[in-house]
Amino acid sequence: MGPTFWSLSVGFVVLTLVFWGIEYFWPSIPEQRRLRGGFVTDVVYWLFTPLHANVSWTFGPLGHVLASPAFHRRHHTKETAAIDKNFAGLLPVWDLLFGTFYLPKDRRPTEFGVHDDGVPDSFWGQLVYPFRKAS
């Protein structure tokens, strides 16, 4: 796993803790709301964090309604068959409607990233890469 994977993984955990801390300790938020964490924490944790988990969950028949880690992983793969597929962030029904749903059951993707081999390997190189001058 590259530096971007780890920085994003740690980032999700840190952001969740930061949002939870703000919602829990902010004086103007009612006490009843502070006791359970809060809406932002719920959204970040329960919806977005599991999508990037390295598990093969498909959610069975609900996988056509809610995005699963297996569905979302195809969005990040370098496989030729998966290019321009699985755009939905949470509701794969949009991909079903527009013909971009892709979730083969016989194999898992093994390569991830962009198709451009010019992306640097270093963390700092990846941070400045989007701001380079296009050729």
Query: 14-23, 39-48, 75-84, 100-109 — which is least confidently predicted?
Result: 39-48
Query: Which comes out higher in pLDDT, residue 83 or 15?
Result: 83
128 or 37, which is more confident: 128
Could you give the residue ranges of the DSSP H alpha helices within the chain?
3-25, 31-34, 39-43, 69-75, 93-98, 123-128
Q: Write down the residue that tokens 């083969």 correspond to.
A: 104
Q: Is the pLDDT of residue 3 over 70?
A: no
Residue 77's beta-bridge partner residues?
112
Tens of pLDDT, residue by residue over 53-109, are: 788 888 888 888 888 888 988 888 888 888 889 888 778 888 999 999 999 888 888
* Per-residue pLDDT at 118: 78
pTM: 0.57
